[in-house]
Each structure stands twice: as structure tokens, then as C-alpha cells.
A and B are shown apart, each in its own frame.
Chain A
Amino acid sequence: MEGTAVLGRLSWQVAEVVDVVEETPRVKTVRFEIPGWAGHRAGQHVDVRLTAEDGYQAQRSYSIASSPDGTQVELTVERLEDGEVSPYLTDVLRPGDQIELRGPIGGYFVWEPPQGGPLLLVAGGSGVAPLMAMIRLRAAVGSDADTRLLFSSRSWEDVIYREELERLEGGGLRVVHTLTRSPPAGWTGYARRVDAEILAEVGPGPTERPRVYVCGPTLFVETVAQALVQLGHEPHMVKTERFGPTGG
């Protein structure tokens, strides 16, 4: 039931690394064990805090990519070239390492199975993480809600969760890729940035009143959200999560 949870104050918790798995050359998923973790909703995020020995701190937010799974939580992190936190998470963390995080956070950008569909999920790169939590939760509870994932990636090698998405497709879930930089030979799918035309073709249309979730870099989200509104989707049916330029 939305909004009735007794949240209490957020506090920093210790999370221990269980596993670090490569998804694509730039992206890794880090699985954490968090004692006392009380679960989360699909779409929520955590704040991660790193502290250097001299007290210097950096903090970033990361969407939870896993569906609720006891005290384990997965974050999917793209290593940004000049990033301060992301290279640490992808390149330095080893099983057994501990970091601080707090969460789960956010009641705005969430999907819960009783809400049903139709769902339109629009992902730009690593913005797929919270949408994957929704897709995984949907599969875990056996929902057949009409769900369409429109997923923009640079190239086929950069498609995060590629095989898992192939396996999950069907039963009401449809996955449409667009590759913006280097489509493989023989590619017949979309090969450009998401625009109004692609959104209209992938649908569902505004008359079906889908819940729309858009996540990715700020400019991607901005472009997609404006296009959706221009296509006739009501603004309050379009929820956005922007990964700002300072995230990294």
C-alpha cells in the first residue's frame, strides 16, 4: 500500500560485496549483502557513500537493479571515464569489501505489481537499472501486464542484460532495442536516438494510458519526456529519473 510504510529516519548501513560481475565492457553489477535490509520496491535507489582515510567523502545515488531478494541488493554501475565513484565500484571493489549505503529511497519512481500495465519503460544505457528491477519483479510475481521496454544502447556489445532480456521476453513483455553508434552487420532494428516516431511505433499509445518510466542521462530523459507529452501522454503518467552529469 503506497505511502503507509513507517519509514523512520534513514541511516547509513554497512553493505558487504558478495560478487562483482561484468555485464558489458563498461558496466558491472555489484551484489551486496546488507544485514537488516528490509526489502525494497522496484525503481527505488540507494545512496552510496565512500570515505577516504583523510575523511574526504563522495556520495552518489544508484538505482537498485535487482527485484527484492532478502538481504541482497544489486547495483549495476557504468564506469564513467572521469568518474569519482563509479570506477571505484567497478574496478576496486572485491568480495568481502564493505561500503556504506542508505536506502531504499524514493516512492515516486516505483512500480508495484498491483498497479499492472500497460507499462512503457524507456531506458538510456545504464538507465535500464531501475527498469530492470521492475521487469525482474514482474517476472518473479508472474505478472502478464503488457510491458514494453524501449532500450537505447551504443552498440550490441553495450546492451546490458542482453541475454536475460531475451529469456524473459514473451508473456506480455516485449523488448525493442535501438543502437545509436554501431549496429552489427545485418541489423534490421532501430539505429538512431529515441524520437517521437520510435515511441509512437513501440507504443502503447496515449489512449491506452500506459504508465511510462524513463531513465537515463538527463538529456536523453528530457528528449524522450518531451516527445511523449507531444504524442499526447499526460505528463503525470510519465515518470522520469535523470542520471545527472555529476553522477559518476
Chain B
Amino acid sequence: MDALMLDGNAVAGLLQEVFAVEMTTAIETCNACGATNEVGALHVFRGAGIVMRCPHCDNALMTIAEGGARMWIGFAGVRTLQVTV
């Protein structure tokens, strides 16, 4: 429990800006503990950039850095992402 924490839907706009598909209902699999969750249910932290963590094991699943015209999305903690197209 952390007062800073938000849900994945807090970054829904940002993700949709990039991916052009509904991302908050995308289902990720954590490569640390294997748990599956909708992106909207992930724990979101705002540091220098955004970190989205597994609700079960706190593994950093995704990171987002916004640098004006460039954006970096890291998927280091995601084994796979299931998206409805």
C-alpha cells in the first residue's frame, strides 16, 4: 500500500497515444512471478518517468519515458502482452 500508487488506467491516455489500441484491457504476464493482469490493474508509480509494476510481486513490468517528440517504452518485466485488435 502506498499513497503514491495509481492504477494502470491513470496512464491510459499516454498508452493510447502511442499504441492506438485499447491498452488498459491488454493482459500482461509478469516474467518474474507469472501472474496475469489487465494493464489497467497494474500499480503505477511516477518517478523520473512512469513505472508500472506487477500487483503481485512488484516487479517493474513497463517503464515509460516521455521526451517531447520521443517516447521510450520498456517492457523488461513483461513476458508477453495480449492485445485485442
B77 touches A (CB below 8 Å): no
A and B contact pairs by CB, cutoff 8 A, 24 listed = A2-B84, A5-B22, A10-B16, A10-B17, A47-B13, A105-B12, A105-B16, A107-B22, A107-B24, A108-B12, A108-B24, A108-B25, A108-B40, A109-B9, A109-B40, A218-B2, A218-B5, A218-B6, A236-B41, A240-B7, A242-B6, A242-B7, A245-B3, A245-B4
A134 to chain B, nearest CB (A): 15
| Residue ID in chain A nearest B8 by CB atoms | A108
A100 touches B (CB below 8 Å): no
Whether the pair B9, A244 counts as a contact (CB closer than 8 A) is no
- Closest 10 A/B residue pairs (Cβ): A108-B40, A108-B24, A3-B84, A107-B22, A106-B12, A47-B13, A105-B13, A105-B12, A107-B25, A106-B9
Given A7-B20, A10-B16: A2 and B25 interface contact (C-beta under 8 Å) = yes
CB contact list, A136-183 vs B, under 8 A: none
B residues apposed to A, CB below 8 Å: 1-10, 12-13, 16-17, 20-22, 24-25, 38-41, 46, 84
* A105-B17 Cα distance, complex, nearest whole Å: 10
Whether the pair A108, B38 counts as a contact (CB closer than 8 A) is yes
Given A106-B12, A107-B40: A244 and B6 interface contact (C-beta under 8 Å) = yes
* A219-B3 Cα distance, complex, nearest whole Å: 6
Whether the pair A45, B4 counts as a contact (CB closer than 8 A) is no
Of B5, B10, B21, B39, most A-chain CB atoms within 10 Å: B10
